[in-house]
């Protein structure tokens, strides 16, 4: 493979793929004047997305973070409760627990999938534990069978954070409908997007109805008393315009996933021979949708650190992102977890980098990124020999 030149070419980390269909549905909203949180696209999107992931009910919300918060609030999580979460995840997971007044209890990752380590969950369970949030990180499912068993044995709720894993599969079943509630994000860089937006998916009708009530300021269903609110709710609604975009995106989700997986396979084939590169996992029981194509950089074998590689790739016009900073090291939480050690999460956070991974990424883009990596390593090797 040729070495890439430093160029003005720009390859972004992820760009949404929008087309005529999204425009048609949005124009229909505008023509009908149904542009707020009421309208056919909201209910259509909820029903079709829930069916796609294998759930019975969908509750559309304004973003992925409030999906997590609403799920916890719907399940009655509150002050004094504890929720077990991975430390290696996006800070929104811990924040959502904090919003309820509950306490996040952190668990380290396991090295195979980088997700929460099921073998370390039970040791964190106390009489205050009310639930577990399993995050399907970067598109790879968590190992759900042991987590489901632990939740059942201890009478705990199991919430799936599938914000990064639309269409990912665990033993042939799509994630997000395996626990009590699944939470999704439709931010602009996700596999399907509504710009901002999220969704709760559940097969429990009572949970779905409760979530719908809390989502909409807890309005009274009795129309004579509908402006009397008997509890505190939230304004977490999704607009009909957002849902229209989401419905059009959902029609293309299989094509988007195919693009992500094909690009990941190409990345794998081209990067496999480069020393110091750990490629993203895909367990035999899983279907990874590779929301982000994530590698780990070994400085001793590759020659430079993760951060140095990111800086060098920027010179080639290649946008990258470091992986998540563990919760226990985040400024709002580090004092609460002072003295705790989560070695696998800490190692992942130091060495992990997301390469360009969006729906618009092409074969030529992937080849260019790998050429740039080879060029950077080649220059380092020459300096080392010299």
Per DSSP, the residues of 205-222 read HHHHHHHHHHHBTT--SS
Record the tokens describing residue 310, joined without a space.
């990111």
Record the tokens describing residue 181, joined without a space.
């509630």
Provide the pairing of β-strand 57-61 with 198-202.
antiparallel
Active site residues: 190
Number of domains in the chain: 2
CA-based torsion, 249, 253, 255, 258: positive or negative:
positive
CB 358 within 8 A of CB 365: no
- pTM equals 0.95
Mean pLDDT for 261-284 is 97
Residue 29 is part of a domain; what is its CATH number? Answer: 3.40.640.10
Specify whether 220 is located in the same domain as 287: no
Specify whether 219 is located in the same domain as 284: no
Residue 370: inside a domain, yes or no? yes
334/327 Cα distance (integer angstroms): 7
172/34 Cα distance (integer angstroms): 38
Residue 298 is part of a domain; what is its CATH number? Answer: 3.90.1150.10
Binned at pLDDT 50, 70 and 90, residue 380 comes out as low
Specify whether 235 is located in the same domain as 277: no
Residue 12: inside a domain, yes or no? no
H helical segments located in 142-235: 144-154, 205-215
Residue 181: inside a domain, yes or no? yes
Record the tokens describing residue 166, joined without a space.
């639309």
What would the pLDDT profile of 244-268 be if each residue is shown by its tens digit? 999 999 999 999 999 999 999 999 9
Specify whether 35 is located in the same domain as 163: yes
Domain region containing 79:
20-250
What would the pLDDT profile of 88-146 be if each residue is shown by its tens digit? 999 999 999 999 999 999 999 999 999 999 999 999 999 999 999 999 999 999 999 99
């Amino acid at each position: 493979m040729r070495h890439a030149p430093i160029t003005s070419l720009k390859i972004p980390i992820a760009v949404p793929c929008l087309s005529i269909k999204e425009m048609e549905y949005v124009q229909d909203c505008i023509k009908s004047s149904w542009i707020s949180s009421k309208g056919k696209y909201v209910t259509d999107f909820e029903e079709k997305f829930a069916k796609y992931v294998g759930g019975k009910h969908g509750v559309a919300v304004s973003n992925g973070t409030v999906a997590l918060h609403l799920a916890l609030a719907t399940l009655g999580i509150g002050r004094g409760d504890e929720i077990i979460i991975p430390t290696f995840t996006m800070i929104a997971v811990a924040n959502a627990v904090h919003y309820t007044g509950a306490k996040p209890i952190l668990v380290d990752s396991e090295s195979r999938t980088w997700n929460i380590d099921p073998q370390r969950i039970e040791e964190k369970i106390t009489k205050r534990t009310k639930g577990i949030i399993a995050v399907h990180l970067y598109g790879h499912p968590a190992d759900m069978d042991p987590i489901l068993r632990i939740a059942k044995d201890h009478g705990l709720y199991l919430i799936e954070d599938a914000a990064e894993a639309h269409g990912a599969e665990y033993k042939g079943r799509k994630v997000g409908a395996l626990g009590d509630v699944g939470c999704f994000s439709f931010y602009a860089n996700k596999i399907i997007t509504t710009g901002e937006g999220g969704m709760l998916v559940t097969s429990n009708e009572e949970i779905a109805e409760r979530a719908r009530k809390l989502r909409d300021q807890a309005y009274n269903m009795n129309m004579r008393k509908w402006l009397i609110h008997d509890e505190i709710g939230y304004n977490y609604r999704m607009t009909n315009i957002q849902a229209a975009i989401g419905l059009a995106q959902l029609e293309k989700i299989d094509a988007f996933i195919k693009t992500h997986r094909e690009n990941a396979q190409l990345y794998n084939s081209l990067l496999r021979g480069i020393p110091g590169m750990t490629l993203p996992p895909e367990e035999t029981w899983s279907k990874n949708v590779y929301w982000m194509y994530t590698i780990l950089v070994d400085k001793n074998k590759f020659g430079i650190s993760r951060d140095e590689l990111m800086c060098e790739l920027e010179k080639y016009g290649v946008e990258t992102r470091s992986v998540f900073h563990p919760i226990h090291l985040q400024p709002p939480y580090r004092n609460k977890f002072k003295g705790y050690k989560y070695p696998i999460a800490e190692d992942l956070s130091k060495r992990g980098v997301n390469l360009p991974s969006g729906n618009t990424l092409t074969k030529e883009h992937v080849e260019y990124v790998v050429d740039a990596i080879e060029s950077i390593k080649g220059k380092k090797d020459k300096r080392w020999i010299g």
